[in-house]
Amino acid sequence: MHSVNHDRFWIHGLVTGATAGVLAEALVMRLNPEVAQPLWAIAVGAVLWASWGALIAGVPVVLVQILLRRLRPDTSSWPAPTLLACVYLTAGVLGWVNADLHLHLLSDTARRVVLQDAVAWFLGAVLALVVGSAIRRTKAGTAWKTAFAVMMILLPAGRLAVIPTTSAQPLALVAEPIGAPTRPLLMIGVEGLDVPVLLTHSGGGRTPALGRLMNQGCWGTTRPYEPFLRQSYWTSIATGTFPGAHGVKAHWGWDLPWLEGTLRLMPWTPQGSRLILPWYLARRVTPPPASVPAMWERMRISGVATEVIGWPGFWEPRSGVGDVDFGPRPIGLDNGLNAALETALDEFPAESRDVWSAINRDQARMDRAVRALASGASSLWVHLGALAETRRLLEPLKPRHTGEREVVELLMELLDNQLGRLLVAAPPDALIVLVSPYGLSPPSSYERLRRLIGIGDDWRTSGDRCWDGVMMVLGRGVVSGRQVQDIPLPDVVPTACYLLGLPLAQYMEGSVVIGAVDAEYLSTNPLLVDP
């Protein structure tokens, strides 16, 4: 009876895992052109990634090989070429997917290099099969097989060394005056407001403020870019740029001891990127702040009284983003609405604490915003997040979820009350912009399958699928009652600048949403651009 050579299986599996590890290093480095990548750092990283890959990917490959050998004793005793070809093919597909997925997170040059790497890995898969076949036919000895394995492991690191990653830093701009606007600006960021929930819960006269924004102003859907990056979305709205320019590309940054700089972007993989950094040597840190100034910074140094409350993103301390302290109970909440919320949330004791906390925070932000307007603020930016927190915990996913549906309806009513307070407090000629950069969606079929086998998450809605958000504009020069579609997030600031009589900066990647502007205003107000 044919015996199983476990030593040989261990060698094949570890070589395969080591190759996967070095390919992972190549993809991580290519997606982070902001980080310096000297030859010695590539070499150190290759050793660590190869050893990490041998453990994480190699050991499972060994176990699978042993199982297959026991089931089919006639299996080839030298499966290395096939295994390595599969690894390179997978790396090529991941490279191609990441280049396509990170369209707005990488510069054109950096993205081109990732695509070129993907082609190289496809060719590497062909090389593994061709060279492996030649070695089999010639019945070459162990030395040739060892040389083949070493070549396939070192090929990705060699490509990194010979074709270095082209440095591509985000824009580094200093806030400069933008000028005096012709009227005040009220920018309202609402987390978790999308067209389905807007149209479902804003009828019947329960949401008059939202009705006013939709009927007297212009509204439409926003088009978030992929992948889902919440902080990056809000930064793009405030700066008029994509992440490749403002530099906010991740929820977390990662510092590796042998690299100078913070990794901002991890590759997309089916199971996430948490296992792609070797030996837990990476230290999770806050990503670098946005390198492009927000519009409110430029207005503030132009002498415009500006207040920014809770706007998400990673900002320098000098950018002036403030927030509020909030107590255990909401301030200024209507008695009837408060009683209805208490009754509705009593059914959900596990979730009610987080929902109430989000409500209290929003109410405190709203009180500060109203005080700022009363004190003469001409530029107000405020963020409200209770609706998204409620939908994350209590989205009604089935017809029988009547209690959850009532809570969401009450949160929409609360949001409308808050918007009504702002509209009343705002100066009569103010430009009102409400924006929600992304929408929320229930678990997909794939996510439900993952939960069945115990590896899924526990959220009820998520922005990962990048559903459309909402943008509403109200004020002089805005078309009444018109709906527009697919507004890119960087278009928010250029549109606001144009309606405020301010120049657009040349670094801005967004454009004016022409469909939202009245024809008469367009004909009498030329577009201004910074020199």
Q: What are 295's two structure tokens? A: 């519009």
Q: What are 141's two structure tokens? A: 């000895």
Statement: residue 225 has pLDDT above 70? yes
Q: What is the pLDDT of residue 75?
A: 59
Q: What is the pLDDT of residue 447?
A: 79
Statement: residue 6 has pLDDT above 60? no
The DSSP element (H or E) to which 232 belongs, if any, is: helix 230-239
Q: What are 261's two structure tokens? A: 């700089």
What predicted TM-score, i.e. pTM, was given to this entire model?
0.92
Q: What are 162's two structure tokens? A: 């010979």
| Domain architecture of the chain: domains with CATH | 6-162 (no CATH), 185-247+291-524 (3.40.720.10)
Average pLDDT over residues 462-488: 93
pLDDT band, residue 74 (cuts 50/70/90):
low
> Using one digit for the tens of pLDDT, what is the confidence trace for 91-137?
999 999 999 999 999 988 999 999 999 999 999 999 999 999 999 88
Which candidate, 258, 72, 476, places its Cα nearest to that of 64?
72
Query: In this predicted structure, which of 95-99, 163-167, 420-424, 523-527 has the lowest mean pLDDT?
Result: 163-167
Q: How many residues does the chain have?
A: 531
Say if strands 469-474 and 431-436 run parallel, antiparallel, or are unpaired.
antiparallel
Q: What are 373's two structure tokens? A: 């307007």
Query: In this predicted structure, which of 96-100, 260-264, 330-334, 475-479 has the lowest mean pLDDT?
Result: 330-334
pLDDT band, residue 76 (cuts 50/70/90):
low
> Using one digit for the tens of pLDDT, what is the confidence trace for 19-33?
999 999 999 999 999
Going by C-beta distance under 8 Å and a sequence separation of 6 or more, which residues neighbour residue 351?
Answer: 345, 393, 394
Q: What is the pLDDT of residue 168?
A: 86
> Using one digit for the tens of pLDDT, what is the confidence trace for 130-178?
999 999 889 888 899 999 999 999 999 999 999 999 888 899 999 999 9
Task: Give dist(CA 73, CA 66) in Å, integer.
Answer: 10
Statement: residue 36 has pLDDT above 70? yes
> Using one digit for the tens of pLDDT, what is the confidence trace for 259-303?
999 999 999 887 677 678 999 899 999 999 999 999 999 999 999
> Using one digit for the tens of pLDDT, what is the confidence trace for 347-387?
999 999 999 999 999 999 999 999 999 999 999 999 999 99
Q: What is the pLDDT of residue 374?
A: 96
φ, ψ (nearest 5 deg) of residue 458: -115, 10
Task: Give dist(CA 295, CA 321) in Å, integer.
Answer: 12
Task: Give dist(CA 469, CA 492) in Å, integer.
Answer: 13
Greater confidence (73 vs 386) lies with: 386
